[in-house]
Structure 1
Amino acid sequence: MNIKNTNSKNESFNLILCGLAFQFIPLFTFGLILAAFEDWSSPFPGVLFHLIISTFIYGYIPLLKGCRLYSYDKGYASKWGWFGLLSILGLSFLLLFPEKRTNFYSEGSLGNDSINFPFNKLNIPEFLLYYSIAFPILILTIFIIILLSIGLLSLVKGSDFIDLFNATWDILPELYVTITYLFIGLFLFRYIRILGFDVEKFGILNFGSLKPIINWKLIILIVFLNYAFAWGFNSLISYYISFIYPDFIENSINELEFTNVIGLISWSFSAIVFAPLLEELICRGIILQKWAMKWGIKAGIVTSSLLFAICHLRFDIVSLFIAGTILSVLYFKTGNLIVPILCHSLYNTIVTIFMIGRYYSSSNVDFVSVNDYRVSMEPLLGQKAIVAAISFAVIMFFLYRNFPKQDDILPYYRNSK
């Protein structure tokens, strides 16, 4: 296969995303079908299984071509693209390769003189795959190496290291998310500065300009209404999903986010500090403005909010999408990324308080079956529906009154003045 220098990663990632879609979308769909119909005795699932395998294999065609082109685009020989045979794991290796080409832009541009600088130097699929898949896999690999090393020492040295291994095994999984967030944050800030971004222009540190333009009481009210909507709407969705995926709901209502105090502290710190800062910088600061520049402000808000919801990998996509839209509107309204960061942090603080309460009360609560869950939910369905409807109406009115116009200046460039 001849590799042509296009000076654009768009072509390679179009092929890569196409290949991943062929491989994993049917696979996930098949998994959901099996989970919903465990007692399905029809021969159709067997036919469907072979179809899934066929699409997975077919996905290698665009994936390998894209990986080889991407390897070449990064300044390496195209043969390194054969890592794509390992599918998403091999792609992670390629993403972690350091960039060799310095005169490279993701779109045709004029470099630093472009009106779209520095967003023109950013390729969103590469950016997302690197920080959502490749980098966490790297951190996970380091964790596994640490555990294996301690495990080997425990076999060689004796009981002291066995105790150390057991202690490490209990602590490291609880710290994984926090450590991953920490390293992603460090590398992310370094990366965006390399691309030419000025962090101050995102409005993270512009506290002085907030007072005259922000009604904090209204914003806090919207955050609480957003939580009220999520509480009511997600409860209704969870109740109805329990009839389709009973095991999933049963596991979710009995599963704790953390199992010890270290996990509690780690999870709380990640949820209240790291997650709001990094997710807002990525989703609102970078992706929203990149896509608003490309497709328009309205489309940018919708698509970035949808991505924000999907990336959480949870069933509450609707409430997350609305939350993402609110945070996007607040960013455009104020021009300061610190506002959605603080709102996101406040929302997560509310969630964390309930999680901590659930953790300390879990020892006194027996296992809750899905049938018991349905019985306890049925008298509350009407109340939850009313709460969701009222909060949704107020949120929609807020968004209608404050939604940015199509010709508004992006916050990053507004802060450049």
Structure 2
Amino acid sequence: MQHSVQLTYDQKHSLSWGKFIGSLLFAYFGTGLISGLFVVLPAIIYTHGLTDKKQIALYESIGNTGNTLLQLLVLLLFIYKFEPIKRLLFPIFNFQVLKKVRTYIYLFLFLGLSILINQFFLASLFPDAPQQQSNALHLETLKQYKILLIIGSAIFIPIFEELIFRGIILQFFQQRFPFWLASIGSSFIFGIAHTYSLGIMVSAFIMGMFMAVLCKKTNSIIPAMLFHMINNTLAFLL
């Protein structure tokens, strides 16, 4: 029988709205600023003046992956060191769910539904959305080195984003609102974060809802991370 994670009074109230907003700003923007100073800025300086497109693509791919990795590491360090966030997220780092068959049933059911919605509904409404996202992310350049693209965008980014959206945001909202309001709110913010096009924002919102429900059904953030990884991998390979 599935049991919901029970939080103590201290766990529920140790993170105020002020700490939540501050933590969220640091997690999303602060980590990017730090990684930008140590990875992106040196990469821009190093590639300045280069004319070989293949070489430029390689350095951009390495820089993109390195930037994402550093952001993730800074976020993990922040979660570990900042006790209110650590207590908020600790209960959902449940790897035991990977031993349960029902976890994979939920995972692949939601993946299948997400693919069907994107292929047969959103693709007809927003046919230019994939190309708009590709242009915004410079995927034509990054796809020249698919291994680096997969490592950065289909492994590091899903973990990073899930820690923020299904981790910090969803868990905080669930402590204060009914689950469906919390899932809609966190998914809406997830959609807003993907401003490449309206179609991508709608797709991200739907995907966020599936991952929120997956977290609820399994009492773990791990299946949502796997969902996100598989989804991104398929998107970049197909």
Q: What TM-score results when the alignment is normalised by the length of structure 1? A: 0.46
CA shift, 1:146, in A, is 4.8
> Are residues 147 and 333 of structure 1, via their aligned partners in 2, closer, same or farther at CA, if it must alter by over 3 Å?
closer
CA shift, 1:149, in A, is 5.9
> Are residues 166 and 193 of structure 1, via their aligned partners in 2, closer, same or farther at CA, if it must alter by over 3 Å?
same
Residue matched to 1:139:
35
Check if 1:223 corresponds to 2:111. yes
Query: Which residue identity is paired with 1:216?
Result: Y
Residue matched to 2:186:
304
Residue matched to 1:273:
155
Residue matched to 2:216:
332
Residue matched to 2:70:
183
Deviation string 1:287-341 (CA, Å, 9 cap, x unpaired) is 1011121233222111001111111113222222121111111111111211111
What is the percent sequence identity of the aligned residues? 20
**Conserved? CA contact 1:139–1:180, under 8 Å:** yes
Q: 1:192 aligns with which of 79, 82, 96?
A: 79
Secondary structure at 2:121's aligned position in 1? helix
Residue matched to 2:205:
321
Task: Provide the C-alpha distance between the structure 1 equivalents of 2:133 and 2:13, rounded to a whole number of angstroms.
Answer: 47
Query: Which residue identity is paired with 2:74?
Result: F
**Conserved? CA contact 2:211–2:224, under 8 Å:** yes
Task: Provide the C-alpha distance between the structure 1 equivalents of 2:149 and 2:170, rounded to a whole number of angstroms.
Answer: 27
Task: Provide the C-alpha distance between the structure 2 equivalents of 1:149 and 1:212, rounded to a whole number of angstroms.
Answer: 48
Q: 1:290 aligns with which of 172, 180, 186?
A: 172
Secondary structure at 2:102's aligned position in 1? coil
Q: 2:93 aligns with which of 174, 186, 203?
A: 203
Secondary structure at 2:126's aligned position in 1? helix
CA shift, 1:174, in A, is 2.2
Listed as ranges, the matches of 1:3-402 within 5 Å are: 114-116=10-12, 118-120=14-16, 123-142=19-38, 143-148=40-45, 169-196=56-83, 197=86, 200-204=90-94, 206-207=95-96, 209-212=97-100, 214=102, 216-239=104-127, 252=132, 255=135, 257-259=139-141, 263-314=145-196, 315-316=198-199, 317-354=201-238
> Are residues 195 and 121 of structure 1, via their aligned partners in 2, closer, same or farther at CA, if it must alter by over 3 Å?
farther
> Are residues 302 and 260 of structure 1, via their aligned partners in 2, closer, same or farther at CA, if it must alter by over 3 Å?
closer
Deviation string 1:27-50 (CA, Å, 9 cap, x unpaired) is xxxxxxxxxxxxxxxxxxxxxxxx
Secondary structure at 2:140's aligned position in 1? coil
> Are residues 300 and 174 of structure 1, via their aligned partners in 2, closer, same or farther at CA, if it must alter by over 3 Å?
same
> Are residues 332 and 119 of structure 1, via their aligned partners in 2, closer, same or farther at CA, if it must alter by over 3 Å?
farther
> Are residues 137 and 200 of structure 1, via their aligned partners in 2, closer, same or farther at CA, if it must alter by over 3 Å?
closer
Secondary structure at 1:178's aligned position in 2? helix
Task: Provide the C-alpha distance between the structure 2 equivalents of 1:226 and 1:149, rounded to a whole number of angstroms.
Answer: 40
Count of aligned residue pairs for this structure pair: 223
Higher RCO (CA < 8 A, seq sep 6+): 2
Structure 1: any 5+ residue segments left out of the alignment? 1-111, 155-161, 243-248, 355-417
Query: Which residue identity is paired with 1:148?
Result: I
CA shift, 1:279, in A, is 1.4
CA shift, 1:265, in A, is 1.9
Secondary structure at 2:12's aligned position in 1? coil
> Are residues 129 and 268 of structure 1, via their aligned partners in 2, closer, same or farther at CA, if it must alter by over 3 Å?
same
Residue matched to 1:4:
none
> Are residues 292 and 221 of structure 1, via their aligned partners in 2, closer, same or farther at CA, if it must alter by over 3 Å?
closer
Q: If each structure's helix is expressed as a fraction of its own residues, which one has the higher value? A: 2
User: Which has more radius of gyration?
Assistant: 1
**Conserved? CA contact 2:64–2:152, under 8 Å:** yes
Task: Provide the C-alpha distance between the structure 2 equivalents of 1:146 and 1:178, rounded to a whole number of angstroms.
Answer: 12
Task: Provide the C-alpha distance between the structure 2 equivalents of 1:178 and 1:250, rounded to a whole number of angstroms.
Answer: 21
Structure 2: any 5+ residue segments left out of the alignment? 1-7
> Are residues 121 and 172 of structure 1, via their aligned partners in 2, closer, same or farther at CA, if it must alter by over 3 Å?
farther
Deviation string 1:262-301 (CA, Å, 9 cap, x unpaired) is 6422221123211221211211121101112123322211
Query: Which residue identity is paired with 2:72?
Result: G
Residue matched to 1:93:
none
Residue matched to 1:67:
none
Query: Which residue identity is paired with 2:221?
Result: L
Deviation string 1:62-119 (CA, Å, 9 cap, x unpaired) is xxxxxxxxxxxxxxxxxxxxxxxxxxxxxxxxxxxxxxxxxxxxxxxxxx98342543
**Conserved? CA contact 1:210–1:334, under 8 Å:** no
